[in-house]
Structure 1
């Protein structure tokens, strides 16, 4: 047989299976209560609205164009709607600042490809979104810790990057209800990130996948909005905003976008042409119809449900977690981050939990670029009923208590 390993590119050695994607297989096991996958509840999908949108496309004679190739930038009416949404959150732009992608995951892949040469440094949170690490890993970067950075001068980041054989290229930030921690960055921290990016003359990648899912508190301006306030125009900014329809309308349609300075979008269009020509035309047309008529109502609907589930999980954690555990209290999103007693291993706990407690979660070590953070785990409340939350957290709390007592 052919020895494939010796002809694979060196970058293939950095490709790893997603612990989260593997855990999603457990959703089909009726004996497992899963808090693992950060996925929307399918019962909340606007399926009737999409059925009507697809039917209307064919009834109105748009079927042939919907099934055809399209421009790489994306369906113009959808880009216009996105531009309107951007303006509503303080990001005035035109459709020339928007490119539609196959989910925000493709956006992260494109941006890694655009900026990273082997040995370059990406600044990321500690922990950070596992999917971002997977997207960037293919381009062979090294990682440095973005937060906390208050007492670290910019020159130190640049020096460390040079010593590692490259340059700092971007800071990756999930500023609202981050995956995995649920953390939201305050305005001061966002401004500091922009200050650091200016000093280093690097890009800022703003992953805003959960930006619409706020349940409490006042919205904080996106980094791109703050960047525009500094520079006066989006085409003079260094921030690239990655949005998604996956958490609001449908993950299965695989549609997201990048909003950025027009010269960067032009470069991304060339990458899109080389990668997949264009995102699904019919799906873009259907999303545009559903978004134009019902986006606000859909977001309001899912916020109410997810807010109640978040509150239920926080109450259950308070009632059942043993001493030595701490957890985040997010203002939105889909996740709660749990710190286990020192010395406890989240991956080992998961193995025991699947056998005895029958509760799934994501071990926290997967979210750290250096593999640390072993005594952490991520819980998702978005796809669990209140009864599942009560039962599952009680089971998990008992197990953690048993493991801690035996240590």
Structure 2
């Protein structure tokens, strides 16, 4: 028998199956009410618009370019559209600052590869996006806790990284309606992250996958916008903005983007040339057409739908959750984060819930780089209707109450 473990690179030991991807399989079970998958509602996809966009591409001379190899930087009209969108967010940039990736997950993988040597430290929030941890893990880093708005000293981070045999390389965070908690970092917290990054001389990776999905409150400038305001030009900044069309237009087309200073973009382009040459040209063209024709209308549609579902879930949690539990109240995004009484375990609760209550959610421990957070879990409202939310949260509340005793 071949012993593959002796042949695999050491980094392979850091690869773990995604609990979320496994739980998505439950969506096919009609007896399960699932709040597990943090995925967009397919009923809200602009399918007619995409059908027209692909038809137009195939009916034009552009079809030859659509089916051909293309430049690694990405489809120029889409990047030009993104330059205008970024300007509206307070991020003036040029074409050389915009890079198309095959979903923002590929962008996170590239950034891990670009910055992390074995034993270097990545600063991440506790909890943080599971996909980011999976992307970074392949490059064998250590992790330390990033607390936006906190008072931890730069020297303490440096010392901890040195003890682990490397340097602090970047701070990663989702500042708006984060996955998994739904929480938003306020302006002061964003400014403090920039201050810390300046002191440590590290990059800031701003995951903006949910930025368009604000339902309440006033928008807060992206971290990159705040840094440009400090430094005058994007090419003087250390913040790397990662965006996506997956939550607004269509996740299956796998089109994301990175906006950053030109030297970083040039390095990322070299990585793409070595990895997959370029993202799907025809998909970029279709995204460009649909975005140009009606991005704002599409965002307004999904905001209205998701905002209503969030309100329904918050009301159901208030109605059915027993004393001793608490949850976040997000201003946008797709997620609510529930904290159970100390001593309870979200993974054990899930096993019982799938057996008796027939409700799925994601245990929180997987989102913590240090393995803590056992008494937490994430629920998503994006694909649930009012009836599902009312019934599912009611069942879950009864199960938790019975466990508390």
Settle same-fold status: TM greater than 0.5.
yes
1:310 has 2:349 as partner: no
* Partner SS, residue 333 of structure 2: coil
The residue number in structure 1 matching 2:394 is: 394
What is the distance in 2 between the residues matched to 1:210 and 1:156?
Answer: 31
1:111-131 CA distance string (max 9 Å, x none)? 000000000000000000000
* Partner SS, residue 336 of structure 2: strand
The residue number in structure 2 matching 1:380 is: 380
Task: Please list, as runs of the form range in 1=range in 2, the aligned pairs for 1:322-341 lying within 5 A after superposition.
Answer: 322-341=322-341
Q: Is the 8 A contact 2:123 2:145 kept in 1?
A: yes
The residue number in structure 1 matching 2:278 is: 278
Measured on the aligned residues, the alpha-carbon RMSD in Å equals: 0.6
The Cα shift of 1:91 comes to 0.1
The residue number in structure 2 matching 1:287 is: 287
1:296-318 CA distance string (max 9 Å, x none)? 00000000000000000000000
Q: Which runs of 5+ in 1 are unaligned?
A: none
1:250-297 CA distance string (max 9 Å, x none)? 000000000000010000000000010000000000000000001000
1:150-186 CA distance string (max 9 Å, x none)? 2211011011101110000000010000000000000
The Cα shift of 1:341 comes to 1.1
1:205 has 2:199 as partner: no
Stretches of 4+ aligned residues off by more than 3 angstroms:
none
The Cα shift of 1:364 comes to 0.3
The Cα shift of 1:61 comes to 2.2
What is the distance in 1 between the residues matched to 2:224 and 2:333?
Answer: 20
The residue number in structure 1 matching 2:161 is: 161
* Partner SS, residue 80 of structure 1: helix
* Partner SS, residue 122 of structure 1: strand
Matched residues, number = 405
Q: Which runs of 5+ in 2 are unaligned?
A: none
The residue number in structure 2 matching 1:259 is: 259
The residue number in structure 2 matching 1:187 is: 187
Return the TM-score normalized by structure 2.
Answer: 0.99
What is the distance in 2 between the residues matched to 1:267 and 1:392?
Answer: 47
1:210-256 CA distance string (max 9 Å, x none)? 00000000000000000101111000000000000000000000000
1:9 has 2:16 as partner: no
Task: Please list, as runs of the form range in 1=range in 2, the aligned pairs for 1:107-122 lying within 5 A after superposition.
Answer: 107-122=107-122
1:343 has 2:343 as partner: yes
1:10-55 CA distance string (max 9 Å, x none)? 0000000000000000000000000001000000000000000000
1:21 has 2:21 as partner: yes
The residue number in structure 2 matching 1:144 is: 144
Return the TM-score normalized by structure 1.
Answer: 0.99
The Cα shift of 1:148 comes to 5.5
The residue number in structure 2 matching 1:237 is: 237
What is the distance in 2 between the residues matched to 1:21 and 1:64?
Answer: 36
The residue number in structure 2 matching 1:174 is: 174
What is the distance in 2 between the residues matched to 1:312 and 1:227?
Answer: 37
